Chains A and B, each alone.
Chain A
Amino acid sequence: MAKPAFEFLPNAGDEQEGLGDAGIETFRDAPYGSCAREAGQNSRDANLDNDKPVRITFDVLSIPAKEIPSIDTLSSVIDSCFEQVSSEKERDFFDNARLTINKPNLSILRIADFNTKGLLGPPSTRHSPFNALLKGSGVSIKDSETSGGSFGIGKNASFAVSDLQTVLYSTIYQCEEDESLKFAAQGKVKLISHSDLKGEQYKATGYWGGESFQAVTEKYSVPEWMQRDSRGTSIFSLGFRYANDWAERMASSLLTNFFAAVHDKTMVFEVDSGKININSNTIENMLSDESMLKAAEASGARSGLEFARELYRCIVSANASVTILDVPGLGRMRVRILVDKGLPRRIGFIRNGMLITDNLRYFDRPLARFQNSRDFVAVVEPIDDAASKLLKSLENPAHDAFSAERINDGAKRSVAVKALRKLGDLLRETIKDVTGIQSQSSVVLDELGEYFTGEGRGGESSSSTGENDPENYRYSARRKNNKERAGGNGEAGEGQQNGGGNGGRSRTQERGKGKGQGDGKKESFGRDTLIDLKDVRNRIETSKSNGTLRRVFFSADVSGEVKLDISAVGLNSSVNLVVSSVDIGVVSGGGVIVDVSNGQRCSILVSFDEPYEGPIEVRASYAERREVSE
């Protein structure tokens, strides 16, 4: 197969095409943020396994120009375009493009998604997602009517960050016919209409790929940096418009738009080789991160990020009230409202994990002023497909407003207007109920307390800014003293573990908590005297003949025969495990009697009479004390 090459469409009609591509221009104001947002939305729509998050990485590669097949062709086209510019804007663009493409290394922004279906092909089939992305115009291909992006105008955002207005794509998708995994790659260039040295006329649009504007379908026909090993899509913006804070700008946009999807663990992002990780663990911190706020400010989007932070707070707060609205003609909507001083008194509409807008102004319901409300923030989102589907049909291409004018059918438009107005009315009522001042006949004016009391209260009540804050009382938690040295016996703890742990349960006798265990001292436990074990450790060892075994390590500060009792950590109390065999010592009464030397490390291989792979507690007592009668 011939090497992939750049090739421009013939311009038989001698059409004049300039640089002002409406699709790209849409994203010029905030190219980094727009690029991140659109990529996020398209990848989210292609989710493969709903139980796992879609992972999207944003990295800048530095690739030697010689490793980009047919780069000389593109360079020559850019030279031709430079000679044929018709405005200063075009001259500036191509001047910069020539500088960019003549560098020995080219900066390339790579956006790659994982746990996605990839760009479904075949690439040459009309209306396949691959075809819609590369060759569709005004075409919307979607997997679900409730999904987010659909390779509409948003696909142009990747061009807005390319100083060559050149974007390449590679994907691995599953073939519908035989379920085999297929590879496809192709690129697209958007310059100006031009003629070559021979005087042949070409359109502004060119493609990178196989002959006759076809995609490359052999993985090894594309450079290594374009290849993929797993299903998903990679987007490469050639001649990436590098800015020192590109990563923060993209990350702040992802945070602003996808905080809900990140919170519900359906999306994670890694930016700049994993230097910025956005996942459910880190999102709260990232939403307040100074570098993110600064980058958002540089993009004119700081207030958006701050609003997202308050909306996130509403989503996770235990103090938020939740109301389900059944809106005629729309469907079911969930409204979460958090009331607290300083909140912006705004509503965030979220759909498909993405923040869309804070108003319904195109439905004459601006929801902008809440005169009689306490400070609040509210999150509104559809919770059934009907509501999600209708809201999607009302969403504008920039995904930042709802408008019924997007519906062509007059009757449907009328229903939508009525439904959204009703939603606006119900929201006002709900917010009034939750945030309105409760009627009382008398209130104590706590705020005046600070002016008419002694000095005793000062210093303990302060806000996070360090200013006096009579409404909040602040103090620090006290960390409990560690009575135990690493690995020893001691006072039984009180916590419960819900996070995980292996299962497994052995035959047991419930044993109550021993009185006075611990502190590293020898104390009474039942009729035995406990010995302090040091540095207790255990691991599972599997043997083909004996099944699951466990090796237990410990040290003791005594010498002689000791009895070890091993218990499983039960739900409420310890549960004895019955030892069935050991490699050292003897089995006795469900435990082990073993000879130990003061300070010497012991290692015993034990098996239990029933399989158990969970955590244990080990207790030791003097073996001879077993003979003492009660």
Chain B
Amino acid sequence: MTNVITENDIWEGLEQGTEALLDEWLVEDGADVEIGQPIALIVVVKANHEIMAPKKGAIKILVAGQDSFTKDQPLAEIV
């Protein structure tokens, strides 16, 4: 099982405890994804980022769309 986590560099300069927004999931919960496939859109302050699947497998969504999350928080699991 692999966690989908954001890269550290997008959090640079932000105060501890600041959260980002999971704007939209591009795949359904349980869908099969491939490495590099765009799976979610997130917004950190005003910057948009695309999240790619790090591994092939079935995705289990942990952070719902329109919810916020912290650095180091897994957005999903891939089994």
Instruction: Note whether A and B form a binding pair.
Output: no
Interface residues of B (CB under 8 A from A): none
Residues of A bordering B, CB below 8 Å: none
